[in-house]
Chain A
Amino acid sequence: SQTIHQWPATLVQPVGSPLSLECTVEGTSNPNLYWYRQAAGRGLQLLFYSVGIGQISSEVPQNLSASRPQDRQFILSSKKLLLSDSGFYLCAWSVRSFVNYGYTFGSGTRLTVV
């Protein structure tokens, strides 16, 4: 069966520090991968998505970047965190090649920038 792992679950980082969040998928090949952010009291904002290794599409200009070094690995990074980067970050995957059956989400990382 397919599973998605996201870590860490909770993170407190000082302003100006770097960030690396990792997401891996098991039990599927060639997935579409996504990073969403959920700020307090707001909906989900798509940050990045990837349809293949090394292929990253950015939806929102910001202080973050994403990379996909392997087929089932998706990394969210920042060189210098801002207070506004605080939020709940969710990784998700979907099947790529045909009708959209929705996403499978990871359990999320709650990031607090202090």
Chain B
Amino acid sequence: AQSVTQLDSQVPVFEEAPVELRCNYSSSVSVYLFWYVQYPNQGLQLLLKYLSGSTLVKGINGFEAEFNKSQTSFHLRKPSVHISDTAEYFCAVSVPQAAGNKLTFGGGTRVLVKP
């Protein structure tokens, strides 16, 4: 079975400062990796995904993430945050070809951008 750990439950950050959200996963097989964002009282939106190839993945809204197989990590970064980036962020994994394409999510990281 797979598991996902998001090491920070909350991350306060000032506007225009960089932010990094940490995600580590555990799996005995290769996985696909995802980052989702959830704004208050809304569903989740896909920020970016890693399926294969280049380990640096660029997503929407200026976010990027780097897959590190040796460290089993998929950390999310943004060089300069805006107030509108205040949201909860979820890292998730799935196993290719697994039944149902199930996604396993981490516990989430709340980002609060301060002016």
Contacts and interface: CB of A to CB of B under 8 A. Distances in A.
A73 B26 CA distance: 33
Given A43-B106, A44-B90, A110-B41, A101 B100 contact: no
A58 B103 CA distance: 14
B41 A44 contact: no
Interface size class of B (residues with CB under 8 A): 20 to 34
A5 B94 CA distance: 24
Interface string A40-65: 00111010010100000101000000
A82 to B, nearest CB: 23
Contacts of A105: 36, 43-45
Interface of A: 6, 32, 34, 36, 42-44, 46, 49, 51, 57, 59, 88, 90, 92, 94-96, 99-108, 110
Interface of B: 6, 32, 34, 36, 41-46, 49, 51, 90, 92, 94, 96, 99-108
